[in-house]
Chains A and B, each alone.
Chain A
């Protein structure tokens, strides 16, 4: 099968899978009337534009969540890659701090919410940034460390015999080789990050998609509003993932190769 035809088939399959999800959603709402259907969700979205909750347009909620995830993601990426590199190349640093990291790693980011709120307060975004940051950074550290420490020994030997010192080997060999794994960690971290955004906003926020979802449970259950929140999270997270994939493709052109 030619490459173009293969891509066409992949697109059709992707569209079909989304249509299948909508069909399952629609069928579930037909069986259980308390569940909003896709149509009712779209209708609720337009009502939300006409009658904003607490006077804030829906765009304010979307931008608030996007700002929180992007700021936390940027900070977690810088810190996560740095920490992963340090674990990968400094054995003493690894021996000192890996046990601490290993103990903290399995703790769900949501478990930190009470402590962070107690410390940094409900007002302002600091507490939310910290919770989202914790949600994102773990996967980035793990992937960066794993890819740095598992660099093909042949690349390292080649760099050494070509006269590269330790720093040059890191910058010109180990890090470029690790970029795909680092991006994989960033994508995994983003998923956890969105969970943390919604959770943090549900507990302590006056705006954001998580806040909208929380409002759907406040009086009478408003499942259509809940679904609006779910769809917005899905669309926003897809947008961020898409941008990340574009950046990855730009940085790793060798990964999209014609077969030999």
Chain B
């Protein structure tokens, strides 16, 4: 018997008025898999994630999580947006605890997880600071920590490092990989940075420009931790780049 996919997009179509954004998109993502959606800016990657968390409804087709329609209130899932979405009125610690308290997890467990996450994102000493007192990168670390605090089955990340410099990007990419290994979450990571996609994911889904379809699904068997200057890494990166150039 084949394992039920964690996420299943079935003939997904999304129109905004006359504009066809997603055109009959279908794919499955396995449980615990780290998948990157790669495509040009404006191709509808964010729309797909918005469909997954019901921020918008599909024109036709379905998105299933564990075989049932996606619902953030029922499924243990988190979303990291492009912009840091910390709550400025909460301290770093309270931001981390936000969804744990929403989901009414036991206080002892909340404290245990919060300590763990604060340590992992390197903000234990700033636990009582407000996001406005910290840098943008620290804010994004809070958001990532907050997302992982739920030990989510499914984590959606929408170009979370889009506006960060290369050093910080590497740091946070490693942080996500570390959290992914510890929590065994399924991660869907959107990026238009091919190197980032190859560095992070086990599989890349290449998307076409609008109306978007899945052009290819490329397995990434390279072992972790990955070396961006290793020949096999460069080869895979160029293979994906060539596919994108083909457009």
Residues in chain A within 8 A of chain B (CB atoms) = 154-155, 157-158, 160-165, 168, 172-173, 176-177, 179, 252-254, 257-258, 260
* Interfacial chain A residues near B77, Cβ < 8 Å: 161, 163
Ranked 3 nearest A-B pairs via Cβ: A161-B79, A158-B85, A162-B99
Task: Provide the bound-state CA to CA distance between A160 and B56, in Å.
Answer: 12
Interface residues of B in 164-190 (CB under 8 A from A): none
Interface residues of B in 13-68 (CB under 8 A from A): 53-55
| Cβ–Cβ contact A162 & B146, under 8 A | yes
Report if A172-B98 is in contact (Cβ < 8 Å); known contacts: A155-B85, A158-B85, A160-B53.
Answer: yes
Add 20 more A-B contacts to A155-B85, A176-B90 (CB < 8 A).
A154-B85, A157-B81, A158-B79, A158-B87, A161-B77, A161-B78, A162-B72, A162-B102, A162-B150, A163-B73, A163-B99, A173-B87, A177-B88, A179-B89, A252-B89, A257-B133, A258-B133, A260-B132, A260-B133, A260-B135
| Cβ–Cβ contact A162 & B78, under 8 A | yes
A156 to chain B: closest CB distance in Å?
Answer: 9
* Interfacial chain B residues near A163, Cβ < 8 Å: 72-73, 77, 99, 102-103, 150
Task: Provide the bound-state CA to CA distance between A176 and B130, in Å.
Answer: 14
Task: Provide the bound-state CA to CA distance between A168 and B133, in Å.
Answer: 26
| Cβ–Cβ contact A160 & B55, under 8 A | yes
Task: Provide the bound-state CA to CA distance between A165 and B102, in Å.
Answer: 9
Task: Provide the bound-state CA to CA distance between A162 and B145, in Å.
Answer: 12
Residues in chain B within 8 A of chain A (CB atoms) = 53-55, 72-73, 77-79, 81, 83, 85, 87-90, 98-99, 102-103, 130-135, 146, 150, 156
Task: Provide the bound-state CA to CA distance between A131 and B103, in Å.
Answer: 45
B151 to chain A: closest CB distance in Å?
Answer: 13
Task: Provide the bound-state CA to CA distance between A163 and B78, in Å.
Answer: 8
| Cβ–Cβ contact B81 & A260, under 8 A | no
Judged by DSSP, the binding face of A is helix
A-B contact pairs, 18 of them (CB 8 A): A154-B81, A154-B83, A157-B85, A160-B53, A161-B72, A161-B78, A161-B156, A162-B79, A162-B146, A162-B150, A163-B72, A163-B99, A172-B98, A173-B87, A176-B87, A177-B87, A254-B132, A260-B132
A21 to chain B: closest CB distance in Å?
Answer: 35
A60 to chain B: closest CB distance in Å?
Answer: 42
* Interfacial chain A residues near B156, Cβ < 8 Å: 161
Task: Provide the bound-state CA to CA distance between A260 and B137, in Å.
Answer: 12
Task: Provide the bound-state CA to CA distance between A163 and B149, in Å.
Answer: 13
Task: Provide the bound-state CA to CA distance between A165 and B103, in Å.
Answer: 10
* Interfacial chain A residues near B85, Cβ < 8 Å: 154-155, 157-158
| Cβ–Cβ contact A260 & B99, under 8 A | no
A196 to chain B: closest CB distance in Å?
Answer: 32
Task: Provide the bound-state CA to CA distance between A164 and B72, in Å.
Answer: 8
A104 to chain B: closest CB distance in Å?
Answer: 32
* Interfacial chain B residues near A173, Cβ < 8 Å: 87
| Cβ–Cβ contact B130 & A253, under 8 A | yes
* Interfacial chain A residues near B55, Cβ < 8 Å: 157, 160-161
* Interfacial chain B residues near A253, Cβ < 8 Å: 130
| Cβ–Cβ contact A155 & B87, under 8 A | yes
* Interfacial chain A residues near B134, Cβ < 8 Å: 260
| Cβ–Cβ contact A162 & B98, under 8 A | yes
* One of B54, B73, B103, B132 near A257 (C-beta < 8 A): B132
Task: Provide the bound-state CA to CA distance between A165 and B104, in Å.
Answer: 13
* Interfacial chain B residues near A162, Cβ < 8 Å: 72, 78-79, 98-99, 102, 146, 150
Q: Which of A155, A163, A253 has the largest count of B CB atoms less than 10 A from its CB?
A: A163
Report if A257-B89 is in contact (Cβ < 8 Å); known contacts: A158-B81, A161-B77, A162-B98.
Answer: no
Chain B residue nearest to A253 in the complex (CB) = B130
Task: Provide the bound-state CA to CA distance between A168 and B103, in Å.
Answer: 10
Chain A residue nearest to B156 in the complex (CB) = A161
* Interfacial chain A residues near B79, Cβ < 8 Å: 157-158, 161-162
Task: Provide the bound-state CA to CA distance between A226 and B1, in Å.
Answer: 91
* Interfacial chain B residues near A157, Cβ < 8 Å: 55, 79, 81, 85
| Cβ–Cβ contact A176 & B89, under 8 A | yes
Task: Provide the bound-state CA to CA distance between A260 and B54, in Å.
Answer: 35
Q: Which of B72, B89, B99 has the largest count of A CB atoms less than 10 A from its CB?
A: B89
Task: Provide the bound-state CA to CA distance between A154 and B90, in Å.
Answer: 15
* Interfacial chain A residues near B99, Cβ < 8 Å: 162-164
Task: Provide the bound-state CA to CA distance between A168 and B87, in Å.
Answer: 14
Chain A residue nearest to B138 in the complex (CB) = A260
| Cβ–Cβ contact A160 & B130, under 8 A | no
